[in-house]
């Protein structure tokens, strides 16, 4: 058996057929065949599960939790987990989503660093009945909206997921006070704030004011090497990698949701010549801007 499983394999293993290509799904647990035992492997997606009406042993990493009441479970792609039912029959809800589905606003800094999902965090919670009722309403809304034809339904799904996570964070043990920020952490925060404040772009007639590592370093009054060292220390990514990730994300949004030409999008993102933008986009996205724009926007799994 593989030690790693993606959403498509998960669907097929538990009798849910073959999902369409996408990034998010939600379903009632009782609506699908549920085996008594889930193998102890990593899944290539995040999952929020409200599990009720069953008793058993939930195992994650090297921990084992006895489940006897409604339980909230948070699955991180980095942490293997398993479930063994000992009594009852599972009911409740599950929401599965990939890293790509998460926007910067929903990350709350970083989804993997949330106490609900991070390694060493608290991925199993036992909500009281009144909280279970609120969580059930949010899951019901997710079920309704994922079937809707509303043009911006994925933004709405992210909003309901964010509410779900905030309700859950209220139950999580309080995190210890953070240590004083190091100089590297302070510089990283200043850089990321400067970077993200440039987006979203509002007009096809204006180019980004800061486009590369040297320009950001000058704005922050530090040497480029010093900025890069701070970012590597705190995020394990270079200045250029952070900038490229934001450029690609903004390019995808504009290609998908605006009528701007490819040349205009490239210009706004700091590429004076359209071929340079096309090469950059293809390197990071695996296809040309024109191919990405023509590709249907399919973002959900629909199963019956």
CA distance 146 to 289: 27
Q: Give the pLDDT confidence of 188-233 residue by residue, as tens digits.
A: 989 998 998 888 787 888 889 999 999 999 999 999 999 999 999 9
CA distance 281 to 287: 7
Which one is predicted more confidently, 131 or 122? 131
The 3 state secondary structure assigned to 98-129 is CHHHCCHHHHCCCHHHCCCCCCCCCCEECCCH
Domains and CATH numbers, the chain: 4-171 (2.60.120.280), 183-294 (1.10.10.60)
CA distance 99 to 138: 21
Which one, of 192, 25, 181, 23, lies nearest residue 95 by Cα?
25
Is the pLDDT confidence value at 11 over 80?
A: no
286 CB burial (10 A radius; 0-12, 13-18, 19+)? exposed
Q: Give the pLDDT confidence of 222-240 residue by residue, as tens digits.
A: 999 999 999 999 999 999 9
Distances (CA, A) of 209 to 206, 267, 274: 9, 12, 18
Q: What is the pLDDT of residue 111?
A: 52
Distances (CA, A) of 168 to 2, 64, 202, 280: 31, 20, 35, 39
* Model pTM score: 0.55
Q: Give the pLDDT confidence of 237-272 residue by residue, as tens digits.
A: 999 999 999 999 889 888 887 889 999 999 999 999
């Amino acid at each position: 058996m593989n030690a790693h499983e993606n959403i498509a394999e998960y669907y097929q293993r538990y009798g849910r057929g073959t999902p369409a290509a996408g990034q998010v799904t939600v379903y009632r647990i009782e609506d699908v065949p549920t085996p008594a035992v889930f193998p102890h492997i990593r899944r290539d997606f995040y999952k929020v599960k409200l599990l009720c009406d069953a008793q058993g042993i939930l195992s994650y990493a090297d921990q084992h939790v006895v489940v006897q009441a409604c339980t909230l479970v948070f699955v991180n792609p980095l942490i293997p987990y398993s479930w063994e039912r000992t009594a009852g029959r599972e009911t409740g809800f599950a929401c599965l989503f990939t890293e790509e589905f998460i926007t910067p606003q929903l990350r709350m800094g970083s989804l993997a660093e949330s106490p609900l999902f991070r390694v060493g965090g608290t991925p199993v919670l036992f909500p009281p009945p009144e909280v279970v009722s609120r969580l059930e309403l949010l899951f019901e809304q997710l079920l309704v909206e994922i079937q809707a034809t509303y043009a911006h339904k994925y933004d709405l799904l992210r909003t309901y997921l964010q509410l779900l996570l905030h309700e859950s964070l209220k139950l999580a043990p309080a995190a210890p006070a953070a240590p004083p920020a190091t100089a590297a952490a302070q510089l990283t925060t200043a850089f990321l704030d400067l970077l993200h404040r440039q987006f979203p772009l509002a007009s096809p007639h204006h180019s980004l004011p800061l486009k590369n590592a040297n320009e950001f370093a000058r704005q922050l009054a530090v040497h480029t090497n010093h900025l890069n060292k701070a970012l590597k220390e705190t995020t394990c990514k270079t200045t250029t990698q952070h900038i490229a990730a934001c450029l690609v994300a903004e390019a995808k949004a504009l290609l998908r949701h605006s009528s701007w030409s490819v040349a205009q999008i490239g210009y706004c993102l700091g590429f004076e010549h359209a071929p340079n933008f096309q090469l950059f986009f293809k390197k990071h996205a695996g296809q040309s801007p024109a191919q990405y724009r023509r590709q249907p926007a399919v973002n959900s799994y629909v199963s019956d």
